[in-house]
């Protein structure tokens, strides 16, 4: 079955630590995205990548970093520079002209 | 600056009646619009879309209406069913095939049995 896998489902981070969220897809989609969901704020775009080895900042990229070394993988690192990292993180992928396919999300909590 | 707005955070509808979810946008460059449905702790799933060259698109119980002059779209669900209870997001992009989407804040729909 094709799809997007995000891991882990729940993640706890101590203040000052970097943490990496995994996103893997086997849909052969060129484009991948990271969104953040906060209560009452909808989904906000963090980073996106339309092709391997290339990515662009979204609306709220500060404090985050990504890499796209393989078509299947688009990991997101939440760095200590992100002041309010507690949120639900969603990864998605797409091909041109088609709707996104989303993963099931990772809930990150800073403790 | 919220370019896509869903002004009703929540909506309750009797089972069997029509649910109408609304969405407004400010960016006149948007011309492709989508609706997604989301259950708690899951990723959104695509429901229906519409291009700016149309004013209506229908798929089973779901119909999306677009009023470009008013920068407004709506999703109609008829008849509403308990499984429709979820959060609904509208999203927009500047052209069909532009994969970067801007999402609204969501409306939580509750269907009352």
Q: Look-up: residue for tokens 């609204």?
A: B104
Of B79, B86, B81, B82, the C-alpha closest to B35 is B86
Q: Has residue B81 got a pLDDT over 70?
A: yes
B22: its two tokens: 């609304």
- In the structure, what pLDDT confidence band is assigned to residue A40 with cuts at 50, 70 and 90? confident
Q: Which of A4, A41, A100 sits opposite B101 (nearest CB)?
A: A100
Given an 8 Å threshold on Cβ–Cβ distance, is A94 in contact with B99?
yes
CB atoms within 10 A of CB A96: 12
pLDDT at position A105:
94
Q: How far apart are CA B50 and CA A93, in angstroms?
A: 20
DSSP label at B7? -
Tally: H helices and E strands in chain B: 0, 11
The pLDDT tens digits of the residues spanning B42-62 come to 899 999 999 999 999 999 999
Burial class (CB in 10 A: 0-12, 13-18, 19+), A73: middle
Q: Does A39 touch chain B (CB under 8 A)?
A: no
Identify the closest residue of chain A to B32 by CA–CA distance.
Answer: A97
Chain A positions in Cβ-Cβ contact with residue B49 (cut-off 8 Å): 99
Work out the average pLDDT over B91-111.
Answer: 86
Which pLDDT score, from 0 to 100, does residue B96 have?
A: 65
Contacts of B101 in chain A (CB under 8 A): 45, 100
């Amino acid at each position: 079955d094709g799809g997007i896998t995000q891991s882990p489902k729940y993640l706890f981070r101590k203040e000052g630590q970097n943490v990496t969220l995994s996103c893997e897809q086997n849909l052969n989609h060129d484009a991948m995205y990271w969104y953040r969901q906060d209560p009452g704020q909808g989904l906000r775009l963090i980073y996106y990548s339309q092709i391997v080895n290339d990515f662009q900042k979204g609306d709220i990229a500060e404090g985050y970093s990504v890499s796209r070394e393989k078509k299947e993988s688009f990991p997101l690192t939440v760095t200590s520079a992100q002041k309010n990292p507690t949120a639900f993180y969603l990864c998605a992928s797409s091909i041109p002209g088609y709707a996104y396919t989303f993963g099931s999300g990772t809930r990150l909590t800073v403790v | 600056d919220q370019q896509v707005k869903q002004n009703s955070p929540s909506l309750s509808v009797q089972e069997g009646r029509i649910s109408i979810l609304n969405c407004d946008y400010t960016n006149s460059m948007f011309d492709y619009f989508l609706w997604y449905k989301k259950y708690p702790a899951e990723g959104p799933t695509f429901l229906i879309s519409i291009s700016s060259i149309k004013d209506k698109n229908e798929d089973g119980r779901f119909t999306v209406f677009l009023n470009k002059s008013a920068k407004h779209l709506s999703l109609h669900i008829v008849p509403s069913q308990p499984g429709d209870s979820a959060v609904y997001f509208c999203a927009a992009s500047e052209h069909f095939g532009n994969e970067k989407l801007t999402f609204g804040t969501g409306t939580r729909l509750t269907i009352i049995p």
